[in-house]
Amino acid sequence: MEHTLQDTDFLVSQTDAKGKILFANEDFCKIAGYTLEELMGQPHSIVRHPDMPKAAFKDLWDTVKSGKVWKGYVKNATKNGGFYWVFATVYPNIACG
């Protein structure tokens, strides 16, 4: 079943360089159907929908690892077997200093 996001939904997650979740905001948890505790330390692929081609994520990671911002539509899976679409903006983590 598709979950349609509201205009006020603003999903935020942060991963380490290996894709493990370090943070997810309340909207992300609510829409995905997980608690923050369930998400912490898990691979971000926990919300990957099987319809998403692996090539899309290769492009995402190649772009971010090169220090650039990636943008695109992503179909994610919910814990209960549903799905939702997001227009994702993925920023590289660039250390200051």
pLDDT at 60 over 90: yes
- 17 pLDDT band, cuts 50/70/90, is confident
Give the pLDDT mean for 75-87.
97
Looking at residue 94, what is its pLDDT? 72
The answer to whether the predicted template modeling score (pTM) of the entire model surpasses 0.85 is: yes
* Radius of gyration, alpha carbons of the chain: 13
Q: Assign 7 to helix, strand or coil.
A: coil
Separation CA 78–CA 62 (nearest Å)? 25
Looking at residue 10, what is its pLDDT? 97
Looking at residue 97, what is its pLDDT? 57
Please, what are the domains in the chain? 13-90 (3.30.450.20)
